[in-house]
Every structure is written in C-alpha cells, then in structure tokens.
Structure 1
C-alpha cells in the first residue's frame, strides 16, 4: 500500500499529463475527502471538486460566479451558492461529476453566497435578501422534495452572510453583515451610514434569536465565521469605514455565551487592510485560521483564548478548511494550493492550477 506521501506524489505527477504541474509535497489527509470551491478559469465560472491527497479533480461549468458551499450529510451531494447578489444555488454530485439541479432564491430574493444543512441532511438553510425592503432572511429548502421552499426565518436585520450549525444541531450561528444590496446595482453597498451588523445565534426551527452580539463599530460588517466542537464561534469583520481608522477584525463567542473582540498587533491589523475572508476552526486541535486576501495574509489563532499563534504571507489567500490532521488547507486567488500546519510553521505549497479560487472551501 502506498503511503499518503507517495500517493500524493503519484497523483501530482499524473497531473503533468494534463498540463497541470504538481509542486512541493507535504504529508496530507485521506484520499477519499473531496473539497469543493467556486473557481474561475479560462472557460469561465466553474465549481471545482478536488482531492488534495491525490490531485484528482473535476470541474462543472455554472451560469454565474459562485462563492461558498456546503456538503449534504449522508448524501453524495454538495451545494454551491451564487456570489452576492446572486439568484441561484447549484446542487452537484461528486460521484457523477455533474450538476444535479439548479435552485432559485425565489422571486424578489437573492442569495448571499452561503448555506448549511440540518444534521440529517434534509433541510438546507441559506442566507437570503428580500430585495424590496432589504430584510435579511434564512430560506429553508427541503432537499427531499427537490429543494422546494419549506420555510422562511426573518432575522430582524440586513445582510446575513455566512452561517454554521452549532454543536447542539439546533442553533444557527449567523454573521449579519448589515449591508444592503440589490441585484439592479450589482455589488454596490447601499446603506453604509446606517449599518447594523451583529453575530446572531438563532433557533433553526422557530427562528427565535437567542443571542445578538454587536460589533464595537457600526461599520464592522460581521460576515464570515466558523464554529468549533465546543461551541466557540470565531467571526471575521470587514470594515466599511475610512481607510485610516484601525479596528479589530475578529471576534470570539465563547462556549458559555460570552463575546469579545480579538486584538492583533497594530502592524498586523493594518496589513489585513480591513478585510477578513475565510475562517476555519480545526476540529482536532485548538487552532483557527483566517485568510485576508487583500493583505495577502493568513493568521493563525488559538481558539481557546484568541491568542495569536502565527501569521504568514500568502498571495491572495482565499479559502481555508481544516485538514483533519491538525492543520489547514488554504487556496489562493492566484491558483496556488497550500497546507498550513497547526504548529505555526511556514505554509507548504502543494500545487499551482491555472484558475482563480474563490474565498471558500467546503
């Protein structure tokens, strides 16, 4: 039996026959784990399925640029969402390597690029904007009924973005960005003066808001987040105010419901350029990785106390996801794919592809 390292080498060597060069090697995770990401390449907008251990991959053309995605528990399906403000989500099969169905947000609505399934894989919860009044919603789709609309939860705010399921299986952690958009105006932000962002914890059945944590400045858009197995939530901000101001860009919700913003060294905060993207909390050790594509940085924290462990330069750092071995996979908008070990050591570049990864890995 080939060792994982040998398997990786063999898989990447095989890529040269496809004109896709393999680069530096690293110890990696199981070969049966697919990653998914929205990408753009010479052919246009794509969904990429990818196995880091072998380099195996497939691409599916989609009708618009996508953003985040999620896997359906217990089923060989993944869903990728159109990038804000987009109107479609794409259900794909990694086995058949094709799109199974395309689901619309609904008349008068658009997606914000993220969703998450219930633990049994039946219901899909997606962040949505009701365009007429800007109301932020969770639309619930029934995957067992061809993703028919099942329910709708009103969040009492504007601009919900990324969401995750808490360890209890019943509560959604939601980054409420506070920014109103309209497809008629593209990605123009329509309400920067009166934003009201928050980190929300919401009952996925009733829609009751259990917790609402408000950032220290009304223009700190709470957008991306991840949840640890102990209930720790790490949330990332994108500051929408003047470039010369300095504000914390990360926050931590503790397992007991406390909330604190995390202070990084001033020089590092400035290097992040007011913008955090993907956040990944490791499941197998107390580590968090945050990407900052505008600052060309990744930042690693201790999830127990928010302490800075390391920061590294990665050009256009995009998606991040725990690799199940104490480290993280990191993609780049420049086409590179990395592993970042949990000990804080320098990133290892595994591969370069002729494409641009979007900001999230599923």
Structure 2
C-alpha cells in the first residue's frame, strides 16, 4: 500500500501531534460545560490564523464540544444512525476526521495518499454503512468519489470515477443515488488551469457508481459546487462564476432528474451582491436560501416561483441548515440568524467565528 501523508505545516503538525497524544478524557475537557443542551448543529470555526476546530453546538449555537483540527476544515457529514460525524479538510485537503459528536472525541483520522486530495465534502449512505467522499488526483483533478466501509473502521473499499474534473459536494438522495456537483475545473493547488475549457455538470450516480444522468447549465463558466436537496426529488445547486469579472449571472439553480436545470430569479445588479460565489444552500417547503461569504449576504427565493424575495446583509455569511421548518444561518463574525417560515428573523451572537458550512444532527 502506498504510504500516506498529510500536508500540514511543521508548526501545526507538532501542535496536532501533541493534541492527538492526549487521552480521550483530556480531549473531552475541551467541551463546554453545557452538557444539558441537546447537540443539534456541527460546524467548523476559526480561533486564530492557522488554528481551526470543529464545534458541536445547540440549536442556538451554544458550544457543547469543540475539537481541534489539523488544518482548516470545510464540510461535515453526519451519520444517520450513529453518533459519528466527519469533518473534511478544505480543498485541496489531506484529511478527513471522524469524531463522536456526543462524546466530543476523535475516533479516526483518514489521510489522503500523496497523489490525492479531498475536496472538502462527503456524505453517509442512508443506512449509515458507507461514507462517500469527493476526492481528486493532484496531477489532473480527475474526479473521484471514495467509498469507505464504516463498519470496518472506515477502510477505503472502492472508488467511483469517470464523471468529470474537480467534484466538490456530494449528497445522497432518498432512493440511495448520489448527486455530485462537478466543478469542471483542473487546479494546481487552488489555482485554476482550464477555465477556457472547463466542463461543469450535475452528475447522478447509482449506489454502485454507474453514471445515471448528467445535467449542465448553458454557461460553462458556472462551476457547480455546493448542493442540497429538499427532502424529495429536487436538487439545489450553488455555483461559482469563473467568467468575466464584470458579468453578474444567476448562481443558484434547481433540478429534477429528466428535466433541464432551472435557474433562480434575480436581476444582474442583485446577483452582483453575491460576488460570483454561493457557499451553502438549503430549502424548506416554501423557500430556498443561499449564502455568500464573499458577498457578505444571503438571498431568499420563493421555491414555487423561483422569484428572488430578498437579499440580506450578513458579514461572512457561511452555513445554513433547516431545523423544524426554520432556516439557521451562521457567519464568520459570530452572528447567527434564525428565519421562520414567514421570514421573520431572530439574530443573536454566538461568540464563534463560524467557517464555511453547518450540518444538522437529525
């Protein structure tokens, strides 16, 4: 087997080596004393430059557990049938960290081989048996979905490929099929190499990795990145625009298999607020919400008509999840916004510098 390595600075590696040498009781000591509060949300956070952690919190973003990370995290997968969750390193990342969100303890650190990297997202199968992770080949950005056997200590048992370059987020549908947001971009580190020829797609895979369907947008400079579904058959996609910097184009679309992708509404001057980038996206029965940390805002659309209803300022708007019909939105300055079905908003300050995405514990 090829030896595996993690790309962390010497300073961070030394710090991480000391942390992982702690006993479980010491790691648990990093948790908040608010153990009576129910764990409902998980997200990455930034404590200082080069110092990152994953936070398990209540619905009101009260910290319950905090675990240190070896490098900056991105997306989180939560098991539907166990107490495990996985934090994936930000692309091009070298680790995926499995942890127990009730105990607040790390269970396993999965390291990428030298010639591979993680793209920052993954998801458990509906039965919790498999963990799927978006991965890439460093030399080519060839897209890979890694398959890990949860019951066998997360050993890698397979790979799905041949669906495109630069996959980012993967989600699982109710019928057990996988949906992959394929960015279509070959990168050297984080630097794009093929913007003139990039080929993004929304790719549907069977549970065995067969390519079932691919949907595309008319503008090939819209890199399909972040995904969600509405609990039924509708997939939501958030894009990063890689075209002309003065063009302001729709960045959110919805799709059902067998149909064309449909973009959400908004005028160019409204899409300019999102600064060419959508991060997290979620839907209730009536609305769709998408965040833009680069634009420091989030938008809300009517799900039935696809009309843009409002854009709201939120510095470094980051994660969004749906809990009991309400949206919960995080930000990198510690603000949290709870939005009811009639779009009434409650704001509070969490004291946490939230980073990238949130996931809900169901």
TM class, shorter-chain normalised? Answer: 0.7 to 0.9
User: What is the aligned partner in structure 1 of residue 130 from structure 2?
Assistant: 123
Match runs of 1:40-119 below 5 Å? 40-42=46-48, 44-53=51-60, 55-119=62-126
For 1:283-329, what per-residue CA distance to the aligned partner results, in whole angstroms no more than 9, with x for missing partners? xx2222100111111111233342323321111110000022x2211
For 1:65-108, what per-residue CA distance to the aligned partner results, in whole angstroms no more than 9, with x for missing partners? 00001111210011010000001000011222111110123341
User: What is the aligned partner in structure 1 of residue 194 from structure 2?
Assistant: 191
Distance in 1 (alpha carbons) for counterparts of 2:110 and 2:85: 13
Match runs of 1:1-362 below 5 Å? 32-42=38-48, 44-53=51-60, 55-169=62-176, 171-182=177-188, 186-205=189-208, 207-254=209-256, 257-282=259-284, 285-324=285-324, 326-345=325-344, 347-353=345-351, 355-362=352-359
Q: How far is the alpha carbon of 1:31 from its aligned partner?
A: 5.4
Distance in 2 (alpha carbons) for counterparts of 1:247 and 1:268: 9
The alignment partner of 1:144 has SS state of: helix
> What are the ranges of 5 or more consecutive residues in structure 2 without an aligned counterpart?
1-31
Structure 1 range deviating more: 66-75 or 207-216: 207-216
> What are the ranges of 5 or more consecutive residues in structure 1 without an aligned counterpart?
1-19, 21-29
For 1:118-147, what per-residue CA distance to the aligned partner results, in whole angstroms no more than 9, with x for missing partners? 111110010000123321010101111111
Q: How far is the alpha carbon of 1:342 from its aligned partner?
A: 2.7
Q: How far is the alpha carbon of 1:267 from its aligned partner?
A: 2.1
Distance in 1 (alpha carbons) for counterparts of 2:179 and 2:233: 10
Contact 2:184 2:223 in 1 (8 A): yes
Distance in 1 (alpha carbons) for counterparts of 2:162 and 2:145: 7
Q: TM-score normalised to the size of structure 1? A: 0.85
For 1:170-208, what per-residue CA distance to the aligned partner results, in whole angstroms no more than 9, with x for missing partners? x111110112234xxx32222222211111111121x22
Q: How far is the alpha carbon of 1:222 from its aligned partner?
A: 0.4
Residues 63 and 54 of structure 1, relative CA distance in 2, 3 Å threshold = closer
Distance in 2 (alpha carbons) for counterparts of 1:71 and 1:155: 26
Distance in 1 (alpha carbons) for counterparts of 2:240 and 2:260: 21
Contact 1:138 1:155 in 2 (8 A): no
What's the Cα RMSD here?
A: 2.1
For 1:183-240, what per-residue CA distance to the aligned partner results, in whole angstroms no more than 9, with x for missing partners? xxx32222222211111111121x2222211122121110001011221111011101
User: What is the aligned partner in structure 2 of residue 24 from structure 1?
Assistant: none
TM superposition outliers: structure 1 runs of 4+ over 6 Å: none
For 1:3-50, what per-residue CA distance to the aligned partner results, in whole angstroms no more than 9, with x for missing partners? xxxxxxxxxxxxxxxxx9xxxxxxxxx953421111110381101111
Contact 1:230 1:255 in 2 (8 A): no
Q: TM-score normalised to the size of structure 2? A: 0.85
Contact 2:275 2:294 in 1 (8 A): yes
The alignment partner of 2:110 has SS state of: strand
Distance in 2 (alpha carbons) for counterparts of 1:103 and 1:253: 33
Contact 2:215 2:260 in 1 (8 A): no
